[in-house]
A and B are shown apart, each in its own frame.
Chain A
């Protein structure tokens, strides 16, 4: 489908996560948003209303596809049915990037629909890297992998998350989606320095940044994507932009989705930061 205005378009600036409650407003007002990120797992049914709406969005904006369904860290075989559908979706929507997470989601064919933690060992590094390479081969394109937020670490872990991520990019040639909120959440939960973490990330690999709001619990931070971005995450974001440059940034807001206006205000804040570094 070569009819899209933004064929192979490089994205820049602060994009928004597309949520179904905002479709109508977007269609009606054609807001000036640099790009939209679609949750790929919601557009897998061939020919239903969701995909028709996605194509309509795509007529006016570049899009990226972001999912949790690859289950890259799982010990199950790769789900080729899912990957086939994802490939069909990418052929149809022509996203700038396709991304998923450094995590596992399913085991024994049963899905938890959540991003679950991995021990950072040589064994896991080989395992997940092999799978990322297979996915890239299947889709015929590079993917971006995202650092998860986590609440658990393991005895067996023998490298930092940043080292693990660097190892993945070396083995698979994939790119990175760096979630600044996730780094901060994990840093607090596991008591490491998030600024040191940033230094370990290979700068030339970072193609997209995520920002979101966590929730402060008694003894940990919980990654709900249901709030505005908190001040320490903005601070860390500035350090990231200083290191990586004005990387396209997305505000994720998945629970208690606010009005489209509120979401755009949050994106404007990121836009201002980006301007300072471009």
Chain B
């Protein structure tokens, strides 16, 4: 076995520890009286799974709290097998955990768990998203340049959301579940699942930091159209309960709409 073959065997022996895979992984590994080569592989397994689990606990603390440490660890080891980590940055790992949880049989009763995980992932990505002060790396023009757009070009404006922003919909009051499970939460601890679904936008504002805002159906429809890159002319043709002249300005003011491009007819 050369080094490459052994490293591959080691990986399998960690993440898919069948008797055969363990034996392969232990090829050429010294055992001692106190610790067999299998024991030594096991130390690495514990260390690797422990490290990744604690990384994911950092991103999904509410999920971990809801299901408990043991259960969460079990979920992570299944997730790792199905979705290996492809980046040196552990902070990039976890995108597919919500999808995995929704397929995870033992968690089926916690119907809202995949959405809680999704909310936590969006929070994590918003936290790490590019700051709008770093404009040189952003693919849009600042809203301050809107005034310079010729009237005949206004129909072609495509507004752009703050790069940290993500929209989500849930059939459960997932923002409340998230809220009451924050460490600094004070107040009524119970969430009534019958409160029903919610539309959310998760983002990082320049002035107020991390935010989760609740949207009504109109606001969701409007912001979804913007997120999809629809031209202003098309959005103006959609029906909302408020005129666009009232819907738009607050979003620009709070920085949720952070810039624009000019599209093609």
Judge whether A108 and B8 touch: CB under 8 Å. Answer: yes
Judge whether B10 and A107 touch: CB under 8 Å. Answer: yes
Judge whether B47 and A114 touch: CB under 8 Å. Answer: yes
A46-B130, A46-B137, A49-B204 given as contacts; is B43 within 8 A of A107 (CB)? Answer: no
Judge whether B43 and A220 touch: CB under 8 Å. Answer: yes
CA distance A41 to B61 in the complex (A): 21
CA distance A217 to B111 in the complex (A): 39
A69-B89, A104-B7 given as contacts; is B35 within 8 A of A219 (CB)? Answer: yes
Judge whether B29 and A109 touch: CB under 8 Å. Answer: no
Task: Choose one: B11, B29, B89, B131; the contact of A112 (CB below 8 Å).
Answer: B11
* Shortest Cβ distance from A67 into B: residue: B88
A-B contact count (CB 8 A): 124
A82-B88, A110-B11 given as contacts; is B134 within 8 A of A47 (CB)? Answer: yes
Q: Looking at the assembled complex, report how far the CB atom of B86 sits from the nearest CB atom of chain A, in whole angstroms.
A: 6
| Stretch from B50-58, B139-147, B212-220, B237-245 that touches the partner | B50-58
A42-B89, A113-B48, A113-B90 given as contacts; is B10 within 8 A of A124 (CB)? Answer: no
A111-B85, A220-B35 given as contacts; is B129 within 8 A of A48 (CB)? Answer: yes
Chain B binding surface, main DSSP class: helix
The size of the chain A interface, using a CB distance under 8 A, is: 46
Chain A binding surface, main DSSP class: loop
CA distance A110 to B87 in the complex (A): 7
| Stretch from A56-64, A147-155, A195-203, A206-214 that touches the partner | A147-155
Give me the interface of B with A, judged by CB distance under 8 Å.
3-4, 7-8, 10-11, 14, 28-30, 34-35, 37, 39-41, 43-44, 47-48, 51-52, 54-55, 84-91, 93, 127-131, 134, 137, 204
Give me the interface of A with B, judged by CB distance under 8 Å.
41-42, 44-50, 52, 67-71, 74-75, 79, 82, 104-114, 116, 118-119, 123-124, 127, 151-156, 219-220, 222, 255
- 12 A–B contact pairs at CB < 8 A? A41-B89, A41-B91, A45-B91, A75-B3, A79-B88, A107-B10, A108-B11, A109-B86, A111-B88, A113-B88, A152-B29, A152-B44
Give me 8 other A-B pairs in contact (C-beta within 8 A), A47-B137, A107-B4, A220-B34 excluded: A107-B8, A110-B85, A114-B48, A119-B3, A151-B35, A151-B44, A154-B30, A219-B35
